[in-house]
Structure 1
Amino acid sequence: MHSSDTTPYLIRGWRCLRLALHFVWIGLGAALIYPCVGELRRLRLKQAWSHRILTLLAVKVDAPAIDAPPGCLIVANHISWLDIFAINAVRPAAFIAKSEVRHWPFIGWLSARNGTIFLVRGSRAHAQEINREIDALLDREQDVAIFPEGMTTDGTQVRSFHGALLQPAIETGRPILPLSLSYCDADGRFSLAPSYAGDITLMQCFSAILARRRLIARVRAGAVIATAGKSRRELAAEAHAEISRHLGYTAAPATSSGKHGT
């Protein structure tokens, strides 16, 4: 017997097979189509592919239209590896990831092909180089997304934001777009299934998502934040307040159980 919100194992297996085939298609597209098309077309492909990944996992994106200019620094809270696909499905962007991801089989190659910027943690010189790469993307009016909490949480709170990666928005004068992310089941109840925090392994997280008949990824945009004349600390506080307001939280806890984000 299965509860009404639990997916039978046969359907989970079918989802896995279709997802694997879709990733093969994405890999072929990144290798063969990307070199032949412009940046706008690549962004549209990334958006379509991300939306399809979520659909295959029975995750519906709930996101009202976002009124923001191109070339925003997207700042979001971080719950799961699903966050990347949820944001890309709504507003395709380049992401900042830890350098270790670059060496993951297939995923590292695919991430690099999709414009991911890899950051060596703890290296100030490399952080400056990363900021220059972000500057260049923002100047070309391409969105860049960061998770300034620095790690994933279970979604019940928003940690304090680190402001260092906000510097490119200040240098280029590009606006900051706060995005709040949350997940719920088909009945609108908050769900922990997508959480990739604490001692949860990637496989456990993936299995928990597969086990749900349907999930909803809620993406909400806060007010666009102008960067002129503001410090990184001020911008981090404003973005945190906007995201917390949409999620119904009022303050950032001092500590949280999580994983260092992608």
Structure 2
Amino acid sequence: MTGGPWDTVPGCGRHCARHALPPVPAVTTALRGAAFAATVRRALADGGHLADPARLRDRARALLAALGIRLDGGGPLRAPSTGPGTLIVANHISWLDIPALLAVEPVPVLAKREVGTWPVAGGLARRAGTHFIDRASPRQLPQVVGELTEILASGRSVAVFPQATTWCTADGGVFRRATFQAALDAGAPVRPVTLTYTQGALPSTVAAFCGPDSFLASLRRVLAARGLAVRVTAHPALPPGRCRDRRELAALARSAVLAAPHPDTPVRPNAPAHHGG
């Protein structure tokens, strides 16, 4: 279903997801698959305890490590504050964006309703405290903005993907403005974050999850990816009161996300993870 307040038809499809380096041997792919399955079983066994921030960060890092993905960059993503929480806004490339963010800053994430129905990822998302929205329902818009405002006003932070859908590169799509209204209403800072994927020293789209792609097909590509790394680049927070309206706030956040360093720029590693290839 299309046509909702968050619904976007991307210019990307499954053809955009490509390996930048030759895939790893089949035996490595199999070993990663086994490690991934074991990590998922441990996380699912946590039940509601998975939402505990320390446990959630550990499980997210373990999930990336099992897939052979290195995590670069780091946080904190929440702005220092004794008042409202932080609205963390990031570009959206892959389902891997969520564990990458949680591995740095374990906060609730706003995701499309369909994620909750995915095999494996859906169960993990629900246990991790993810908030789901129906992108095709205009009637949900005021309710979701109100709920986000309450979360932020209470001092809790939340991560959102304002591009509304996934793109194979960070600069795809516009930033939808609705969630920025919650930050304005709560007087909360906004932290722009850029997610980028590389293989070796090369920019890579192998993690992209676009168009009619399926979770299992994407997982198979990721399991076979050689030298895959995800970088989480946190930009200076946009303080409350800096912008007149949500249009200006969304534009400033998008500009910050697009101004991220080139993938070849070295950064301080945040959490080591084995490559497996």
Please report the TM-score for the alignment, with normalisation by the length of structure 1: 0.83
Q: Which 4+ stretches in 1 moved above 6 angstroms?
A: none
Instruction: Please point out which of 72, 75, 80 is paired with 1:69.
Output: 80
The structure carrying a bigger helix percent of its residues is 1
How far apart, CA to CA, are the structure 2 residues paired with 1:126 and 1:200? 26
- Please report the RMSD computed on the Cα atoms of aligned residues, expressed in angstroms: 2.2
Match of 2:150 in 1: 136
1:117, distance to aligned residue in structure 2 (A): 1.0
* Count of residues paired in the alignment: 238
Distance 1:7 1:160, change over 3 A: same
Tell me by how many angstroms 1:199 deviates.
4.5
Structure 1: any 5+ residue segments left out of the alignment? 249-262
CA deviation map 1:80-115 (0-9, x unaligned): 011001111111121112223334455434322211
Paired AA for residue 132 in structure 1: G
- Check the 8 A contact 2:152/2:186 in 1, yes or no: yes
Q: Which amino acid aligns with 2:23?
A: T
Whole-Å separation in 2 of the counterparts to 1:17 and 1:166: 40
Q: Which residue of 1 aligns with 2:98?
A: 84
Segment of structure 1 superposing worse, 77-86 or 219-228: 219-228
1:204 aligns with 2:212: no
Mapped to 1, the partners of 2:178 and 2:120 lie a distance apart of 29
> Contact (CA 8 Å) 2:21, 2:199: kept in 1 or not?
no
C-alpha displacement at 1:4, in angstroms?
7.7
Structure 2: which amino acid aligns with 1:210? L
- SS at 1:184 equivalent: strand
SS at match of 2:174: coil
Correspondent of 1:216 among 204, 211, 229: 229
In 1, Cα distance between equivalents of 2:121 and 2:74: 29
Normalising to structure 2: TM-score of the pair? 0.79
Q: Retained in 2: the 8 A contact 1:75–1:239? A: yes
Within the alignment, does 1:46 sit opposite 2:56 as a pair?
A: yes
Q: Give the deviation of 1:127 after TM superposition.
A: 2.1
AA aligned to 1:12 is T
Q: Distance in 1 between matches of 2:170 and 2:191?
A: 21
Partner of 1:190: 203
* Structure 2 residue matching 1:203: 3-state secondary structure: helix
CA displacement, residues 144-172 of structure 1 (integer Å, 9 cap, x when unaligned): 11111111111163321110111111111
Q: Report sequence identity in percent.
A: 30
For residue 59 of structure 1, report the CA deviation from its aligned partner: 0.7
Structure 1 position 43, deviation (Å): 1.0
What is the distance in 1 between the residues matched to 2:35 and 2:145?
37
Deviation at 1:119, TM superposition (A): 0.8
